[in-house]
Amino acid sequence: MSYLVHRDCRHFRGDIPCKLHKREGVICDGCSHYDRVDQRILIIKLAAAGDVIRTTPLLRRIRSERPHAWITWLTETPEVVPPRAVDPMGADEVLRWGYDGGLIIEGTPWDWLILLDKDRPAGALAARCNALMRSGFTLEGGRPAGLDEAAHAKLLTGIDDKLNRANTLSYPQEIFRICGYEFIGEEYVLDPCLEQSVPDGIPKDRPLIGLNTGCAPRWKTRLWPEQHWNDLAWRLRDAGFTVLLLGGPIEHEKNQRIACASGATYLGHFPLRQFVRLVGEIDVMVTAVTMAMHLAIGLKKRLVLFNNIFNPREFELYNRGEILEPVPPCECTFVSECDKHCMDRIVPERVLDAVKRQVAALA
């Protein structure tokens, strides 16, 4: 039996009918929706969630340069990579890191493999893949190595604190160069999750200032003292701003205490997609370096960002925020624990002034 099958069509699934067949009854022969894929690109960026989000500007450039490419993204957090069905700039396929994802990756021939993680499991999987062109990192002798000068430079900033502090490139500039591009301000690709309901009780008054009070548990050095959050919430409310406390389960009790002490609004913690929807409601976020920071950037919110242990040049805020650092500055680089408590030196008065500047800059 002769039966035409377009295996190179973007809509082809193989194990089940394509959505267009189910919706319109079309078959491959003579199908007006035939969308030929001319190359397959694999992006491996597994973690952390914030790093995955801030890697998504690459999708915009690849889509513009290679409009007929199929893009697969392998990650530990597929929830933060929009599929093409949600955003035309999104990935065609988002696979979760694990056995099934690894099998699919290994069983597919790739025209371009982009590995942006330096950890060994990702490198080991990439080494087993069949790819015509590779960018980013690899394994040499079982250890991470850069595939070219740009990737090698990125590798060095991760193992040498002095080079890290001397680096003048933002993260998007670094990863774009690794892929052979120059970064020209491409924004994040992020699903705003508008199908999610806005949590009950969200304040109506504007501007709404979101205080994201936590960060990943391992990074105690990034935490701003609870008393400072209390003080800031008081000062913001006294200045006429509406304040909403943000965080996850780890910050729940702390946020309850801050709300009780300051009168700020706290609605609880939410699943990721509803949290994204909630962040979409605020006007300015005050936060340490966290996934929520990247959500705010992706949603084009204005930002007051606390930084101490990172090179501030790595952050791309798209001219929608400012970075506050301890005075005098932190002496450490990328450490999870320190007894100098430099974050105490970012005083609430400075933060209040920064929030006022960001509010004034709202369109």
DSSP state of 134: E
Quote the CA–CA distance of 325 and 362 in Å, as a whole number.
23
C-alpha pair distances (Å), 233 with each of 189, 208, 257, 263, 305? 31, 12, 12, 8, 16
| pLDDT for residue 218 is more than 90 | no
In terms of Cβ atoms closer than 10 Å to its own Cβ (0-12, 13-18, 19+), residue 31 is middle
Quote the CA–CA distance of 39 and 214 in Å, as a whole number.
42
Quote the CA–CA distance of 6 and 9 in Å, as a whole number.
5
Quote the CA–CA distance of 85 and 276 in Å, as a whole number.
18
State pLDDT tens for residues 119-139.
999 999 999 999 999 999 999
Q: What is the pTM of this model?
A: 0.94
State pLDDT tens for residues 285-302.
999 999 999 999 999 999
| pLDDT for residue 341 is more than 90 | no
Residues 6+ apart with CB under 8 A from 188: 53, 54, 56, 57, 294, 297, 298
C-alpha pair distances (Å), 270 with each of 79, 248, 250? 14, 7, 12
State pLDDT tens for residues 174-200.
999 999 999 999 999 999 999 999 999
DSSP alpha helix (H) spans, 167-251: 171-178, 226-238
Residue that has been written with the tokens 């500055």 in this structure: 329
pLDDT band at 220 (very low <50, low <70, confident <90, very high): confident
Residue that has been written with the tokens 């190595």 in this structure: 145
List, in sequence order, every residue forming a beta bridge with 146; answer none if it has no partner.
Answer: 137
